[in-house]
Chains A and B, each alone.
Chain A
């Protein structure tokens, strides 16, 4: 069966510090991968998606970036965090575009 992992589960970082969130998928190959952010009490905002290694599409211009160094690994990064980067970050995968997406447990990021 397929599983998706995210770490860390929670993170508190000072403004201006770097960020690296990791997501890995097990039990499938060549998945579509997604990064979402959810502000408190709000809906989900798609940040990045990837259909293959090294292929990243950005939906929202900001100080975040994403990389896919391996087939089942998706990394969300920032060189300098802003207060507005606080939120709940969710990674998801799907078999193909149009299919349902399966979500990881999420990372709660607080930028102070």
Chain B
């Protein structure tokens, strides 16, 4: 069975601090995809990144970076120099090639204080 664990229920930091959101996944499939989504207070889910299981290269997009490590089954998300606008709930999700359903983590609520 597949599972995604986001152990951090809520994180609160002061603006300009760096913050890392953890995501640990479980699957026996060899082909799978990992995702991160942002859900601001408005509610709409915003797609951030998709990674396939054969690409362990870390990704950087502006202040956002992702660290994919198959050895620890983790796909962590770091925001550098956080801003108030980064306040949101962030979801990590897993999709396996055998059924293409998104398995969602419980989400991490990130609060950035000015």
Chain A interface (Cβ < 8 Å from any Cβ of B): 42-44, 46, 59, 88, 90, 92, 97-106, 108
Contact = CB atoms under 8 A, between A and B. Distances in A.
B33 A98 contact: yes
Contacts of A104: 44
A46 B91 CA distance: 15
A82 to B, nearest CB: 22
Interface string B78-114: 0000000000000100010100111011110000000
Given A100-B35, A100-B50, A44 B91 contact: yes
Contact of B95 (A42, A44, A98): A98
Q: Find the residue from B45, B50, B91, B101 having the highest chain A CB count within 10 A.
A: B45
B62 interface: no
B44 A105 contact: yes
Interface of B: 33, 35, 37, 42-47, 50, 91, 95, 97, 100-102, 104-107
Contacts, number: 42
Contact of A59 (B37, B45, B101): B101
Nearest to B45: A103
Nearest to A103: B45
Given A43-B105, A98-B33, A101-B47, 12 more contacts: A43-B104, A44-B104, A90-B44, A98-B95, A99-B50, A100-B47, A100-B50, A101-B102, A102-B47, A103-B37, A103-B46, A105-B42
B54 to A, nearest CB: 13
Contact of B101 (A42, A46, A88): A46
25 contacts: A42-B106, A43-B91, A43-B105, A43-B107, A44-B45, A44-B91, A44-B104, A46-B101, A46-B102, A59-B101, A88-B43, A90-B43, A90-B45, A97-B100, A98-B95, A98-B97, A99-B50, A100-B35, A100-B50, A101-B102, A102-B47, A103-B45, A104-B44, A105-B43, A105-B44
